[in-house]
Structure 1
């Protein structure tokens, strides 16, 4: 089965979250990037279909305040590390605990940061793929967040040539709820390099050859106990559209 289906579940605070599913077999969770959604990151360019064809059941949540998931405006719905606890709730909802068998986990950009934060927090996937992320992107979130806050705050006044133009254009295309997005961006916490010692499972660090948005992927490989590097064509934004991304995920997860 390669058709995309959806299921909905409630996070621990009652927020309704949507998960897209494709394929049958060993489960793999894919977490999308900021201002994106499961369809754009994983389905549109064929990555999920390649994993499904290789024998995986692909589970792709729309993160809180993204895609078809709810985007509440209540600040109480945005506690520190809320995306990590949403992932924990999803793992429980779908029965993906160690006692029920193994699962794999991959994330792009914000999804990569969420995946690493959750592993440091105690979840234990069989294999982990970190895409579009470098070491500095984990430990200097405030600098990165300020860029997004600025883009949100100046949303209606950003013009071509402005450093925020691409981010604002993407938010417009994806119909992002800026109130919810701003609240969500404030929930991220830094991951100290020393904390990465807890990431003991085999890990793939994948980045576009022109992607340095989140720092050095090579430095991230060196900081992880069992990591390897994969390079695909593209910038941070364009690498998601490359077929090489799905091919590299299949090669890594199917071994």
Structure 2
């Protein structure tokens, strides 16, 4: 495992973690998590690397070991897609696969649907059709967590999220700016995602709506369920195993 930093489109320094050798696979983590928390800690990246991949794990801005600038100019609409485009350009990738969980999946969908990203294969974890719409409503929950933070009492539905942000050392000023940069997706744009796609989701995960419905709306998708909720599915070996097995089968 190695870690390096590169400058994104606006000069923000982003962390890139690498493991394995072979075909490039860009892997994106969830909201207020990190490559370490989603992919490295639970062994998913290693399982995928064993299939002949170099797994390239980005820490989004405001996450993990990447910078968290406070300037509004550092958070244009679709900023996370721009960061992934910058990573692909930095590495000179022209033939690669792409995957993400939750926010990472959402970002990948926006990037591929818009034509900004062109992977040969795509993996979408922990994402359903609801997670692509009504972002203002969804972000309001996290805005409250950011604004009230230590005042949120135990037993409140937001308490666990507050504790998670605290454990990850999330910069709340930058987090608020980031939340305001995200846009909804017109579901008709899903038809633009023509590459073979795996939609994988926990059997108790309803956080982003129906993952099965998302798979049904994609031109060439396979749907796989693994054990767990939105938070627990990423901690179980089944997720990484499902991703690695699908990639191996898709490559033939």
Q: Counterpart of 1:104?
A: 97
* TM-aligned CA deviation for residue 159 of structure 1: 1.8
Q: For the residues of structure 1 that align with 2:8 and 2:61, how far apart are their CA atoms?
A: 9
* TM-aligned CA deviation for residue 53 of structure 1: 1.4
Q: Select which of 16, 19, 23 maps to 1:19.
A: 16
Instruction: Please tell me whether residue 241 in structure 1 is matched to residue 238 in structure 2.
Output: no
Q: How many aligned residue pairs are there?
A: 248
| Unpaired runs of at least 5, structure 2 | none
* TM-aligned CA deviation for residue 132 of structure 1: 0.6
Deviation string for 1:89-137 (max 9, x for gaps)?
100101112xxxx211110011000000000121210110110110011
Q: How does 1:1-255 map to 2 (within 5 A)?
A: 4-97=1-94, 102-122=95-115, 123-255=117-249
* TM-aligned CA deviation for residue 216 of structure 1: 0.7
* TM-aligned CA deviation for residue 86 of structure 1: 0.6
Q: For the residues of structure 1 that align with 2:153 and 2:205, how far apart are their CA atoms?
A: 23
Partner SS, residue 61 of structure 2: coil
Normalising by structure 2, report the TM-score.
Answer: 0.97
Q: For the residues of structure 2 that align with 1:86 and 1:54, how far apart are their CA atoms?
A: 26
| Unpaired runs of at least 5, structure 1 | none
Deviation above 6 Å: which 4+ runs of structure 1? none
Q: Aligned Cα RMSD in Å?
A: 0.8
Deviation string for 1:199-255 (max 9, x for gaps)?
000111111111100111111111111111111111101111010011011111112
Partner SS, residue 65 of structure 2: coil
Normalising by structure 1, report the TM-score.
Answer: 0.96
Q: For the residues of structure 1 that align with 2:119 and 2:188, how far apart are their CA atoms?
A: 20
